[in-house]
Structure 1
Amino acid sequence: MITRALYSLLTYAAQPWVRRKLARRAQVEPLYGQWIEERFGHYADAVDLASWPAGGASGAPVVWLHAVSLGETRAAAVLLARLREALPGMRLVLTHGTATGREAGKALLQPGDVQVWQPWDTPAAVGHFLARFRPDVGLLMETEVWPNLVAGCAQRGVPLCLVNARMSDKTYQESLRLRWLAGPAYRGLHAVWAQSEADAQRLSSLGATVQGVLGNFKFDATPDAALLAQGRAWRAGAGRPVLMFASSREGEEQMLLDVLKEKWPLAPAEYARAAPETIANQSGQRTGLPFQLLVVPRHPQRFAEVAQLFADAGYTVARRSQWGEAPETADVWVGDSLGEMALYFGMAHVALLGGSFAPLGGQNLIEAAACGVPVFMGPHLFNFTEASTLAAKAGAALRCEDIAHAVAEAAATAGDTARLQGMQDAALGLGAAHRGAAEKTATEVAAVLTRTRR
C-alpha cells in the first residue's frame, strides 16, 4: 500500500508534464488536443447518464475494453465481433491512449457505445472513470497493466482481465526490477489469457492468474477484401517487383538508404549525367533500384519527415495522400494514410519488418501473412517472439542478421517466382493454422460475467 501511495504521488505530480506532452503531440496529430480532460477523469460530454445502463445483475452488460494504440485496436475488432455474438445487447466503453488507436476505434462503435481516452493512472482519475461508466467487466488488451487501474477495479468489484496477453523478456526483466509495484498489479488481475506458453510463464511468475493459453487474436483478422484487391491491381501495374518497408521506425529508413546507396550506387540525382540508355528501362521507368520501393512509416507524425528523407537523398517520392486513381510514377512510394495496411500489403510482393532492424522489438507480421506477403525480419524481435518464430518455422518469414541481408534476400525472392510463390502460400497458411483465439476469449469473458453478475 505504501509503495502504491508513492507511485500515486508521482502520477499526480506528472500531470502537468502529461498536459505539455499532449500539447506537443497535438501540433502534429490534432486528436491529442481534443477531449484532454477525459484523461483526468472528467467526461462532461461523453455520455448521457440518463440513458446509460446501471450495470449489475440486471440488463445487458457494460463491457469496458482498453486498446491503447492502433495495433491493439485492430486486434480488438475481432474480439468485439465475437463478444457481441456472445453478449447480445452489450454496451461498450472503448478507451485508448493514442490518437491512431482512437481514430481506428471509431469504426468499432455501435449506437449506445462510448469512446473516451484512457484515464491517467491516478486514484482520482481512475475512480471518476469507473464511477461514471460502471463497467461489469474490464478487458485490457495485450500489455496495458496499470497499478491504480487494477486497484480501483478491485475496490469496486469490477473483474479486470488481461486478454491476448503478451510479455516480452525485456518487459519481464523490467517488471522484476519493479516487482514492488508490478507484483501487486499483476496479482490484482481477475484473469489472464495469454498468447503463448512463454507469455503465460512470465505472467504467472509475476503473480498473474493465468487461466489459459488461447493464441493471438490477430490470426483471426481478415484483411479488407476491397483494399487488398485494389492493392494487387496496382501491384500488377507497377511493372517490377514491389518491396515494402512495413511499419518502419525512426532511424530505420536511413539504414535502408545506406544499403541502397552501397548496393545500387547510381542515385536518381545522377541520372541527368548518365548515358541516355541508362536512364529508363523498357517500361519507361527510371533504372537504379531493381524494385519499386514502398515505405509505410509506423507513426503518422513521421510521414512528412520520411518523404523528405528520401527526397533529400535524390529519389523521386510520391505520397499516397497525393495519388489520384493510381500511384504516381516515382522511385519511392510513401504510404501516408491510416487504415489502409491491407492496400499496402496488397501492393507488395515482399516486405521488410519495421522495428526489427533498430533495437525496438519489431512489429506484428500477422497482417502481412494474412495478405500473403513474405516478411524479411531483422534481429530485434523481442516484442513479437511467438509470431515471428511461428512465421519463420512455417516458411512465411526469414530472420536476417541486418537490413542489408534482409534487402538482399527480399530482392532475390521477389525475382524468384518459385521461391516467392512458396513463401506466399506459407504466409496464407499461417493464419489458417492459428485461428480461434478471439472466439475462445469471448466465451471465457461471458463465463466471467455469468459468475460475477449473479
Structure 2
Amino acid sequence: MRALYTGLLYLALPLVFLYFLWRGLREPGYLKGWGERLGLGRRPPPGGIWLHAASVGEVAAAVPLLRALRERDPDLPLVVTTFTPTGRDRARSALGGTAHVVYLPLDLPGAVRRFLQHAQPRLAILLEAELWPNLLHGCRAAGVPVLLANARLSEAAAARYRRGVQGRLIGDALRGIDCIAAVSDEDAERFTALGVPAERVAVTGNLKFDLELPAGVEERGAALRRDWGAAERPVWIAASTHAGEEEIVLSAFAELVGRHPDLLLVLVPRHPQRFDGVAELCRRSGFACARRSRDEPVTAGTQILLGDTLGELVLFYATADLALVGGSLVPGIGGHNLLEPAALRLPVVTGEHLGAWETVADWLREAGALCRVADAAALASAVDECLEDHHGRKMAGLGAARVVEDHGGALARTLRLVPGLLTAA
C-alpha cells in the first residue's frame, strides 16, 4: 500500500512544485529552500532531537518544549522542521541560534532517507497529526524513536482511517510511532481503536496551554497604546483574519463607531501577502488607516491600525480591551489560537467555524470569557456589549486567564516521556 502511495506521490511531484511556485508568487518564502524539501541543502547537526511543527500554531506550542529540552541538556543538538515559511520564520525568531531550522522533506523515500542520514536524530517529535507514511517508515528503518506529541484525532478523521486504502496506509504509519502523547482521553481512545497498543498512548493534555508570553509584553503593550494616544480610547483587536473576514469586521466596525466614535480597531491579517490588499480595503471602506510596517502615526483621527508586521501579534493583543480571533468567521479554516488573548486576560469573540478549537472554546464560554457570533451584526452587538460593561469585561478576562492556568501542565507531562525514548534509541 505504501508503494502505491509513493508512486502516486512521485507522479504528483510536478504539481507539488507548481503549487510551491504558485504560493511563492504571493509568499516569497515558498520559493526558497527547495533543496531542503528534497533532503538536501544545509546539513543539520547530527545526534540530537528533531522536532517537526508544521506551521505557526504548532511552532508556538513547540517553543516551550524546545526551550525545556535545551535547559535539560544545553549540548544536545536541536533540529526543527516546518512546512510553511511563516512557521519557519516564527521558529527562527523564537529560537534564535539555539536550533537548526529547515523545511520538512517531502514524504518521498529518498528525501526522507537523506534527511535522516544527515540529522541522525536520537528522537523524533512530531506535533499534533503529522502522519506521513514514508517519514514514519524511514524513522522505523533507521531505528529513530518517534513521539507524536500534542496528538489529536477527530472522530471524522478516525472514521476515515478505519476504512479502505487510507486506513491500511495510516495503520502502517501508526506502527512507526513509539509513543503517542494525546491531548485528551477521547483522542487516546481513537488512537487505540485504530490498533495502537494502549501502553504506547498517554494522555498529557494540550501543549498550547503552556504558552510562554514574551517577558514584559503587558508593559510594552500599555506603552505602545500610550504612544498611539489610545490610553483613554477603547481598543478592539481583530486578529489572524482571512479573506472574507475583513469585510465582516469592517461592517461591524462601521456600526460600532456610531456608538463608540473613538474606538480604535487593530486589524491583523493572517498572511503577509494580503497586507497591501487589506490596507486598500480599509481605505476603500472610508476609514482612516495607519500601517504599523510604515511607522505611520496613530492620531486622534486614526480609526484602524493595520498590524502588517510579523511576530508582533501577542504585543498587539496586549494593547487591546477585547479580541476577535479570526479564521472562524468563514468556513474551511478552523479557527486560530484562542489561548494567547485568553492568557492576557482578554474577553474573546469568535465566529462559528472553530474546528479543533471547539473544546477550548467551550471551556472559555463556560468561564464567561467567550462569545460566538454568526455575522457582522452579531459581531457588532457582542463587541458593543463588552465595551459598555467594564466590570463584565474584567471578569471575563479573569475567567479566560483561569482557563489557561487550569488546563496547563502538558509540557511537564510530555517531558517525562522523553528520557525513556532517548534511552531506547
Q: TM-score, normalised to structure 1's length? A: 0.85
Letter in 2 for 1:221: L
Match of residue 289 from structure 2? 317
The alignment's C-alpha RMSD in Å is: 2.4
Taking the TM superposition and a 5 Å limit, the aligned residue runs for 1:232-271 are 232-235=222-225, 237-238=229-230, 239-260=232-253, 263=255
Following TM superposition, by how much is the alpha carbon of 1:138 offset from its aligned partner in structure 2, in angstroms? 0.4
Following TM superposition, by how much is the alpha carbon of 1:362 offset from its aligned partner in structure 2, in angstroms? 1.3
Match of residue 431 from structure 1? 404
Closer, same or farther: CA 228–433 of 1 in aligned 2, 3 Å? same
Match of residue 15 from structure 2? 17
Does the 8 A contact of 2:81 with 2:102 survive in 1? yes
Following TM superposition, by how much is the alpha carbon of 1:95 offset from its aligned partner in structure 2, in angstroms? 0.5
Question: For the residues of structure 1 that align with 2:413 and 2:265, how far apart are their CA atoms?
Answer: 39
Question: For the residues of structure 2 that align with 1:164 and 1:323, how far apart are their CA atoms?
Answer: 38
Question: For the residues of structure 1 that align with 2:356 and 2:86, how far apart are their CA atoms?
Answer: 20
Match of residue 399 from structure 1? 372
Residue 72 (1) aligns with residue 44 (2): no
Residue 220 (1) aligns with residue 210 (2): yes
Closer, same or farther: CA 106–248 of 1 in aligned 2, 3 Å? same
Does the 8 A contact of 1:318 with 1:333 survive in 2? yes
Following TM superposition, by how much is the alpha carbon of 1:30 offset from its aligned partner in structure 2, in angstroms? 2.4
Match of residue 189 from structure 1? 177
Question: For the residues of structure 1 that align with 2:260 and 2:389, how far apart are their CA atoms?
Answer: 19
Unaligned runs of 5+ in 2: none
Taking the TM superposition and a 5 Å limit, the aligned residue runs for 1:126-275 are 126-176=112-162, 178-209=166-197, 211-235=201-225, 237-238=229-230, 239-260=232-253, 263=255
Letter in 2 for 1:340: E
Following TM superposition, by how much is the alpha carbon of 1:166 offset from its aligned partner in structure 2, in angstroms? 1.8
Closer, same or farther: CA 300–199 of 1 in aligned 2, 3 Å? farther
Following TM superposition, by how much is the alpha carbon of 1:421 offset from its aligned partner in structure 2, in angstroms? 0.8
Closer, same or farther: CA 340–328 of 1 in aligned 2, 3 Å? farther
Taking the TM superposition and a 5 Å limit, the aligned residue runs for 1:358-437 are 358-359=330-331, 360-437=333-410
Does the 8 A contact of 1:228 with 1:342 survive in 2? no
Q: Which 10-residue stretch deviates more, 248-257 or 137-146? A: 248-257
Instruction: Give the structure with higher Rg (CA).
Output: 1
Following TM superposition, by how much is the alpha carbon of 1:123 offset from its aligned partner in structure 2, in angstroms? 1.0
SS at match of 1:204: helix
Following TM superposition, by how much is the alpha carbon of 1:402 offset from its aligned partner in structure 2, in angstroms? 4.0
Question: For the residues of structure 1 that align with 2:360 and 2:144, how far apart are their CA atoms?
Answer: 31
Question: For the residues of structure 1 that align with 2:205 and 2:362, how far apart are their CA atoms?
Answer: 14
Closer, same or farther: CA 85–439 of 1 in aligned 2, 3 Å? farther
Match of residue 267 from structure 2? 295
Following TM superposition, by how much is the alpha carbon of 1:351 offset from its aligned partner in structure 2, in angstroms? 1.1
Q: Which 10-residue stretch deviates more, 170-179 or 408-417? A: 170-179
Question: Structure 1, residues 181-209: CA drift from partner, whole Å, max 9, x if none?
Answer: 22222333111111122322333333345
Letter in 1 for 2:90: A
Following TM superposition, by how much is the alpha carbon of 1:235 offset from its aligned partner in structure 2, in angstroms? 3.5
Match of residue 302 from structure 2? 330
Match of residue 312 from structure 2? 340
Q: Which 10-residue stretch deviates more, 384-393 or 104-113? A: 104-113
Following TM superposition, by how much is the alpha carbon of 1:110 offset from its aligned partner in structure 2, in angstroms? 6.6
Match of residue 280 from structure 1? none
Letter in 1 for 2:306: V
Does the 8 A contact of 1:87 with 1:446 survive in 2? no
Closer, same or farther: CA 292–443 of 1 in aligned 2, 3 Å? same
Closer, same or farther: CA 93–409 of 1 in aligned 2, 3 Å? same
Question: For the residues of structure 2 that align with 1:341 and 1:176, how far apart are their CA atoms?
Answer: 39
Does the 8 A contact of 1:82 with 1:439 survive in 2? no
Letter in 1 for 2:5: Y
Question: For the residues of structure 2 that align with 1:103 and 1:329, how far apart are their CA atoms?
Answer: 34
Question: For the residues of structure 2 that align with 1:201 and 1:7, how far apart are their CA atoms?
Answer: 27
Match of residue 275 from structure 1? none
Taking the TM superposition and a 5 Å limit, the aligned residue runs for 1:11-90 are 11-43=9-41, 45-47=42-44, 52-53=45-46, 55=47, 62-90=48-76
Question: Structure 1, residues 131-155: CA drift from partner, whole Å, max 9, x if none?
Answer: 1111111001112221111111111
Unaligned runs of 5+ in 1: 56-61, 267-286
Question: For the residues of structure 1 that align with 2:304 and 2:94, how far apart are their CA atoms?
Answer: 33
Match of residue 98 from structure 1? 84
Q: TM-score, normalised to structure 2's length? A: 0.90
Letter in 1 for 2:89: E
Q: Which 10-residue stretch deviates more, 395-404 or 409-418? A: 395-404
Match of residue 281 from structure 1? none
SS at match of 2:416: helix
Question: For the residues of structure 2 that align with 1:35 and 1:351, how far apart are their CA atoms?
Answer: 35
Question: For the residues of structure 2 that align with 1:412 and 1:14, how far apart are their CA atoms?
Answer: 51
Following TM superposition, by how much is the alpha carbon of 1:85 offset from its aligned partner in structure 2, in angstroms? 3.0
Question: Structure 1, residues 119-140: CA drift from partner, whole Å, max 9, x if none?
Answer: 1011111111111111111001
Letter in 1 for 2:287: Y
